[in-house]
Amino acid sequence: MAKNEKELGFTRRVLGPKASDRLQKHLVTQTLRSKPILIGPMPVRLRFPGGGSNALGNVRITSSDRVKWSDLTLEDPHRGGFDDMAELSAALRRAGFRFKPLEEYSFYRIRFAWQGRETVKAR
């Protein structure tokens, strides 16, 4: 990968097995991040505990907005590969959002479309 090329990285430790499997099947179309990501194309990579990673394909970032926990609906965890808000909450805590209540954080909601493959709705 070129030095200046951006990458949308995920870790199996944060996502958990169910959401990781959905990501590998290109069923995930959204992520919540602490920093914004520029809109445009980029590769997606899933990292595994202890090293190793798996290139999953390429996506095009379609939108990015700043949200609070209270702005999220049940569609947000579904687009992120989770069954419900509780699973999403647990993943966010594993990702580092654990030092204060989730209601006190702002997130960047990043939506993306898989390239070279038809986007499949997660639910």
Q: What is the CATH number of the domain that holds 33?
A: 3.10.400.10
List beta partners, residue 40: 61
Mark 87-99 as b/e (b = at least 16 C-beta within 10 Å): bbbebbeebebee
Residue 52 included in any domain: yes
Q: How many domains does the chain have?
A: 1
pLDDT at residue 61 tops 60: yes
**Which pLDDT score, from 0 to 100, does residue 94 have?**
97
Average pLDDT of the residues in 26-35? 95
Give the domain range for residue 98: 8-114
Q: What is the pLDDT of residues 11-25, one digit of tens each?
A: 999 999 999 999 999
- Residue 122 resides in a domain: no
Q: What is the structure's pLDDT at 39?
A: 80
Q: Quote the tokens at residue 60.
A: 């095009």
On the question of pLDDT at 1 being above 70, the answer is no
